[in-house]
Each structure stands twice: as structure tokens, then as C-alpha cells.
Structure 1
């Protein structure tokens, strides 16, 4: 009798609540729409996801300050006129000694400041061009000068330190930087201009000049040939003097021409070769001092220019950092125009999801950024993306893209379904959840109604 009485009481209470206009309301997607709203429900399938993703959308980009680098141009070293050589006649000795410099202990060529590296990357052409062979072995080739900080500046990659590296080590460094910046690491690297290691040749030669040291060793006879050869009629007291690391070495010309091994003396970076036609040691010494002073002067100018460049880069970096901090502050204060997606219904938290800069976001990104779908209360069968028509004349036309998540594999589609600004993600509640909430809300009213009826 008690059960029957309670059932009758519950029925009477529900009739009473209904009569009073009190009922539990929960949101849902109504395909029939309501009023001026027209809702079209479409299942999310691989094909329909492609159709939905065709909706035009250009993600907002970060300001250019986030892509700019402090950079810095090439340092232009200073220079000046070489000091005039000092000539003082000396009596000739009875014979000339041969003092040969030691063989330099050099390994593979190491890249230095001033060298020009040639970076070749494959060109991308049409299929027709590739089939006809018009692009066979075609590369995009760009030269980069090693600047005074020892790095080359490559667009979209940044500054890559290469000074002091062998060509193989530089290729490895560049490969890692391209991988880090998500650029296809297919390239070739070679030294196009050798400007960092040089040997000066002066004195009685046809064309006093500076010979570069390249990937192959530079020998004395090759350096003299590069300067046009020796211009001396009397070989008795003519000699080749080599200044290296504070020491002067001497090879008489007649010994040079008669001994092949002397002609193949290997030269190294910084050597100064001077050909004397008479025994005038002070003249050679003046030439050596001239080269040393000129190198010191240029080095000082390089250091001053590099300090100036570092100061300028520091100022640029500070300005960029301040501009970026100001933008981030505006972002925190919500004063930056952003695109949002809104989450409602049975989601972990009712929220808005800011679409990222520079790329599109998927349904899975928006859902799981906010905790996903609570499986106890959310109906995984009814996950909707509500998208209005872009035509303002069709404001009430809404497409509800439905994801049925009963099969877990369906959530893979959520990673491919792209979001658009002002999309609304709605997750319906479980039927049992709706009934549980109805019971929890009407039970206090039934108890009050039963108590009132009992008292009467």
C-alpha cells in the first residue's frame, strides 16, 4: 500500500509540476529547428569532412616581430695604404744559406671569415618539366659570405656558425638546423670563394699579388707562378724569403730551380713570400713589416666594426623583445582580435577555445584542450559542430555536423575535421543523465507535496 501510495503521490506530483509549468529542460539539436532557425544534421564521414574543410578560412598570423631576427649585416673591414718599404744597401755575402720552413701540420680545409659558401637546393618544377628533362640536375644556388662572427645568415633558418669547421662539419651543422626549422634538408654545400686564408707574394715578381689557399695545398712554385713568375736576370744572389710566425726563411733561386723538393715547399695561411734580386735584407724586412702592420690595422678595424655590429644587434634584439612582450601583455588582457570556438553541453568545462595563430585547429584539438567529453554524462553518439551560414541573409541556416563516437575509431575523424571561427561544439547528455537530473530536481518538490497532503 505504501508503494502504491508513493506511486500515486509521484504521479500526482508530476502532474502538479507540469500544470504549474515546471519541467526539466536540457539543450538538444532539433533537426526540425524552431522559429526562423533551420538546422541540417550531417554525419561526419571522411567525405563530409573534406566538404566541411572547404569553407574558406585564413588563420590569423602572429605579428612580424615574432619572425624577425636581430640579424646584422656583413662587417666591412677597414684598410689603409701599406707603409713605404725601407731600402738600405748591404754588402753581398760570399754565399747564401738555405733555410727551409717546416712543413705545416694542416688537416682538411677549415672555413674562415670572408669565405663564400655556395648552397644548392633542388628546384621544384611541374611534372611535365620533370618528365621532359628540362629540370634535370637543376638547382637553386645561392652564395653566403661567412661574416665576422663566423656565421652565415640564411633566410628562414637564421645564423649558422661555420667558421673553423671543415666542409663536412659545416654540412652536418646546416643539416641539423634545417631539420630543426622543418625545412627539407636536401642540399649541397661547397666553397665558392676562398678569402680567409691567403699568402702574399711580392718583390721581384711579375705581378705582386695575394694567392688564396683552397681545398688543395698551395706550394711555393704555384704561388710564384700565380704572381707571374720571378723577374730576375741575375740568380747569383736572388732568393725567395718566406716570413712565417716571426721567422724569416730563405731559399736561393738557383737552389729553388735545381731542387724539386724546394719548389714543393707547402705554404700556409699568413705566409709572406718576397723575392729578392739582391742581398737587401732590410728591404725584405720592410715588406714583411708592411704586411704585418696592414693585417693588424685591418684586424683592428674588423674588431671595431664587429663591436659596432654587436651593439646594433643588441639594440635590435631589445626592441624586438620589448615589442613581443607588449604583444603578449595585450594577449593576456584580451585586447587582441582572436578567432574562437565555443564549447557547450556535456563537456568538461563550458569555455571558448582560441584558434591558434598561423595554422588550423581540429575538432579533437578544441575538445581535448578543454578536458574532452565526460563519458559518464556526455552522449558520445551526439557530438555536434554547429556552423552557421557565411551568408548574412541566411542567418538562421545552421549545419550540425554530427560525430558518432560509439566506435572509438570515429574519433580519428575528429583530428581531420577543421574548426572555423564561431563554431559551437555541443555534446548532448546521456538519456540516463537526463532522467537522473529530473528525479534529483523533482524529489524535493514531491516530499513537500506529500507532507502537505498528509497534514490535510
Structure 2
């Protein structure tokens, strides 16, 4: 009995001396370790250490439409509108009054021609002229300015008013010995148009017909003005190389301005970006797009799409290769090492292109539990940058038992090869010591009992 008691006392003494269990800790007993309390001032000092985060490869910042080598018609005009500042005032340039005269028939217009029918004649018994009209539901003015009428031939009507066109048709019907009793109407107006864009409900193209097309009617056809910024919005009209400007407030307050007459070829742009150059760029872009479409547009766009697809596939492949290298740990990375009583001791990879804080590393790796870890003993260990003292270590001490000090953890920027260490709770140390020597004590006691 006395032997077992002496053995227990001996093991307890050894444990108290740290022989049975040794736990890691940070000590500044020597000259090679400096322990500094982590405060707002010391955080600024620690963050002053020079460091440039590693960057992602340039392939992650490229896009399939950038760089040289693009063919296929140049890909169209480049964007022409930049961010602008609001001006102090806006210049007013009103549209001049115009009177283009009676409507002139143009290419693309659809004409409805009807002749006189006699008695109860069926459609089959009508003249060739009327039968053709019924079958086609009108005649479209073709690119040479003429319409083709059965038994009459081609009659050029482009550039004529309705009255002049009727006189022309009357003469041709008489020449071909056809009853010249007829009526002529324009069923579809396609040759004269006004385009509307910008801050409108539905950008569109509005045809110009027999009745004058006014500015308010054209805007209504485009869904109205779609902007809440009345003070700095304006309406720009591009006509024959000249740009006119009407501030929106001026337009709304003057009925005569709302009734400004538009003519074929006008372009209307509701602008909310404050500068005349923006609208000018818009119309120039429309002109360039129209010129671009006149060529082999379909072939050019197909070639451009193919080139973009090839570039996109090459970029995706390069990015996938880089990700695969990262998964196989074949990429040079900067790491911070998490040790001690963290939930998962591990290494934390510093991110590309930005710095990471102590809080980032702690929570990305799972943090710690207060059952085992001592939040009062949290350290960031950093080697000395001084060439003459490579063995010098600075230990930035954070007392995380005060939750308000975690703000400092969000500001403390980590550097490559930093070691973040958190010590164990005293009770944890004692429990681990017991786990080591109690089995030995039981074994020894069993041996003595024999």
C-alpha cells in the first residue's frame, strides 16, 4: 500500500514539473522573441511590413472580344458614350419649320389599286388588272420605282404625288384600252421614316404618311419619354447633318414645340446624359452601322463569332489548367500556418490580388472552440525582415477573451509564412496530462498488487 502511494506521489510531482506532458506556448524569455500586445497602433506597425499579394494570371482578366487579331468587318463601331457631368444649363436649338409638300410615292410603299366592276361579274371575269390586284392585295413599289400591272406593264410612280400617279395610271390604262375608271390609295407607307431611340418606352421607326408627322406623335408611337430626370433630359433631332436640341422642360411647356414637324430621314434621340456630344455620337454610330450592314454583314458576323468562340475556348482552357494546377498544389502560393488549438490546424492560402486579415484566416479554417482553446493566448508569429537578425521573431499577442478585440483581428493583415497560434486552456492541459499518466498509474498499480 505504501509503495502504490509513493508511486502516485512521484507521478504527480513529475506531471507538475512538466515531465509527463509538455504543451506549446509563446515565451519571450530569450532575446530572439518579442511579444507585443496587439493594439490599434501596433496593428498599423504590423501592416506596414511590405507585401504585394500574388496576382492571378492575366488570362483571368482577358475577355474574348479584346486584343488584336479581330477580323470580320472590325466587329462594328466601338462604344461612343462615356460618363458625363451635369452642365449648368442646356442650349436650345429648335427645329426650323419645314413644308416638304404633298407626299411623294417612294420605294417600298404598297399601293392599292381598284377598278370598276360591272354587274355580277365574278373575280374570274374581272379584267386582268383587277384580278392581279385582288391576288396581291396591292402593288409594292420596287427598287426601280415602278409597279408591275398585268396587261399594262411596268409603271414608274416613285417620286410622284398621288394626283400625279393617278394621271400617269389613267394615261397608261387608256393606252392599253382598259376602262380608266379606278381608285388609287397608299396602303402601307414604307419609304419615308423617322427613327426614335434613347430614353423612350420602345425605340422604333415611325413611318411618315400623308398627314404631317409631329414630334409629339412620333414620341407617343415610341411609347413616350421614359425618364424621371426632367431637369437634365433633352430631345435631340438629327437632320441633314445638323443636330437640334430641345430641353425636356422646354418641350413640355411649349405646345408649338411639341407640334414641330418631322420629315423623312430625321433621327430623334431622348438623351439623359447631359451632353450634346452623346447624341452626336449616337447618330454617327447609327450611320456607321448602316454602312457596315451594306457589305457582307452575315458573313462578317459569322466569322467574328467564330473568332470570338475560339478565343473564349482558349481562355477557358487556360483558366481550367490553372485551376487544375492549384488543385494539385503546383502553383506558387503564399501561406499562413494555423497551429495550436484551432478546430482544424492547417495552412491558409493568402488570396490572389488582395490582402487577408487575421479574422479571414481564423474563420476560413474553422476557428476554435473555447472548450479547448484559450482565447487569451492568441498570437501572430512573424519572422524578422532584418537581414542581420533572421532568428528574431515578433509575437503579436491578441487577447480574444475580450470580444471587442476581434475588431483588431479584422484589421491585422497577414503576411506570407506568418504562424497563427492559440494556446490551450489550463483545464485542457490538465486533462491531457491525466490522459497520459493515469493509464500508466493503473498499470503500475496492477503490477504492484501482484
**What TM-score does the superposition give when structure 2 sets the normalisation length?**
0.55
Hey, what does 1:319 align to over in structure 2? 314
Counterpart Cα distance in 2 of 1:51 and 1:15: 44
Counterpart Cα distance in 2 of 1:444 and 1:89: 114
- Maintained 8 Å contact 1:384/1:427: yes
Evaluate the alpha carbon distance shift between residue 104 and residue 381 of structure 1 in structure 2; reply closer, same or farther with a 3 A threshold: same
Counterpart Cα distance in 2 of 1:312 and 1:214: 40
- Give, in angstroms, the shift of residue 391 of structure 1: 2.6
- Maintained 8 Å contact 1:384/1:426: yes
Counterpart Cα distance in 2 of 1:107 and 1:85: 28
Counterpart Cα distance in 2 of 1:342 and 1:432: 25
Hey, what does 1:338 align to over in structure 2? 333
Hey, what does 1:224 align to over in structure 2? none
* Aligned counterpart for 1:10 among listed residues 8, 19, 23: 8
- Find the structure with the greater CA-based Rg: 2
State how 1:36-435 maps to structure 2 within 5 Å: 38-71=32-65, 74-75=74-75, 96=164, 109=198, 211=241, 265-269=261-265, 298-435=293-430
Evaluate the alpha carbon distance shift between residue 361 and residue 17 of structure 1 in structure 2; reply closer, same or farther with a 3 A threshold: closer
| Structure 2: unaligned runs, 5 residues or longer | 78-142, 147-154, 167-184, 204-221, 247-258, 268-289
Evaluate the alpha carbon distance shift between residue 85 and residue 110 of structure 1 in structure 2; reply closer, same or farther with a 3 A threshold: farther
Hey, what does 2:105 align to over in structure 1? none
- Is 2:17 the partner of 1:23? no
Evaluate the alpha carbon distance shift between residue 14 and residue 76 of structure 1 in structure 2; reply closer, same or farther with a 3 A threshold: closer
CA-based RMSD: 4.7
Hey, what does 1:448 align to over in structure 2? 443
- Maintained 8 Å contact 1:363/1:414: yes
- Give, in angstroms, the shift of residue 23 of structure 1: 2.1
Q: Deviations over 1:88-114 (max 9, x none)?
A: 999x99x7479997997976647999x
- Maintained 8 Å contact 2:4/2:448: no
Counterpart Cα distance in 1 of 2:346 and 2:315: 33
- Maintained 8 Å contact 1:378/1:430: yes
**What TM-score does the superposition give when structure 1 sets the normalisation length?**
0.54
Hey, what does 2:169 align to over in structure 1? none
Counterpart Cα distance in 1 of 2:42 and 2:224: 54
Hey, what does 1:156 align to over in structure 2? none
- Maintained 8 Å contact 1:341/1:354: yes
| Structure 1: unaligned runs, 5 residues or longer | 78-83, 114-163, 172-187, 200-209, 217-262, 272-294
